[in-house]
Structure 1
Amino acid sequence: MNVDKVYNLVQNIRHLPEIHLGKKSLHLLQAFLHGYIEYHNEITGESNYFFLPEFQKYVEQRFNINTTHSWASLITFYSSSDEDAFNNFYKILDEFFSENAN
Structure 2
Amino acid sequence: MRNLSRLLQEIKDNPVIYIDKPSITCLDFFVGGYLSQLSNLGLTPEGYPMEGFNEWMQERAKTNITQSWLEIILFLSSSEKDAFYMFFELFKKFKKQKNNSKTQESEDVLRLRQDLMFPRFDIYKEILGAIKKRPGMYLGTSSITRLDMLLRGYSFARREVGVPPTEPEREFEGFQSWIEEKYGINSGQSWAKIILFYSVDEHEALQKFFELFEEYLNRNKSLGVEENCG
TM-score range, shorter chain: 0.7 to 0.9
Q: Which residue of 2 aligns with 1:8?
A: 125
**Does 2:157 match 1:39?**
yes
Instruction: Give, in angstroms, the shift of residue 29 of structure 1.
Output: 0.2
State how 1:46-85 maps to structure 2 within 5 Å. 46=163, 48=165, 50=169, 51-85=171-205
Q: Does 1:90 align with 2:207?
A: no
How far apart, CA to CA, are the structure 2 residues paired with 1:53 and 1:68? 14
Aligned to 2:86: none
TM-score by length of 2: 0.39
Q: Deviations over 1:19-41 (max 9, x none)?
A: 11101100000001111111223
Where structure 1 has 5 or more consecutive residues not aligned to the other structure, the ranges are: none
Where in structure 2 are there 5+ consecutive unaligned residues? 1-121, 225-230
Give the whole-Å Cα distance in 1 for the aligned partners of 2:160 and 2:123: 15
Report the secondary structure of 2:209's partner residue: helix
Matching residue's letter, 1:39: A
Alignment-derived partner of residue 37 in structure 2: none
Matched residues, number: 97
CA distance in 1 between counterparts of 2:151 and 2:137 reads 15
Distance 1:6 1:41 in 2: 15
Higher RCO, 1 vs 2 (CA within 8 Å, ≥6 residues apart): 1
Cα distance between partner residues in 2 of 1:47 and 1:71: 22
**More moved, 5-14 vs 88-97:** 5-14
Q: Quick one: distance in 2 between partners of 1:29 and 1:39?
A: 16
CA displacement at 1:70 relative to structure 2:
0.3
- Scaled by the length of structure 1, what TM-score is found? 0.84
Find 2:138's aligned residue among 20, 26, 31: 20
Moved over 3 A (4+): 46-49
Percent identical among aligned pairs is 29
